[in-house]
């Protein structure tokens, strides 16, 4: 990934860089990309976008507007 970042060209008009990065697997890529939050968007492969969407829905179910458990402090 470091090589892809180092070889990145200029930003597009919206300030984004488009990179092709190697991934070990869809599962590993989901974890890696979720760590970066909204600072990245996976454009493909479609299986990665689907897995990211599923993971975000699962996170929303836990951290959405309504807490499943009361906070203990």
Q: What is the pLDDT of residue 65?
A: 72
Full pLDDT tens readout for the chain, 73 residues: 788 888 888 999 999 999 999 999 999 999 999 999 999 999 999 999 999 999 999 999 988 877 666 555 4
Give residues with Cβ within 8 angstroms of 15, minimum separation 6. Answer: none
Q: What is the pLDDT of residue 47?
A: 98
Q: What is the pLDDT of residue 72?
A: 55
Q: Do the Cβ atoms of 4 and 18 come closer than 8 Å?
A: no
């Amino acid at each position: 990934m470091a090589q892809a970042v180092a070889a990145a060209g200029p930003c597009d008009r919206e300030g984004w860089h488009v990179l092709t990065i190697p991934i070990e697997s869809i599962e590993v890529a989901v974890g890696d990309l979720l760590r970066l939050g909204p600072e990245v968007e996976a454009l493909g492969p479609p299986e990665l976008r689907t897995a990211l969407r599923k993971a975000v829905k699962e996170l929303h179910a836990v951290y959405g507007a309504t807490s499943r458990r009361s906070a203990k402090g």
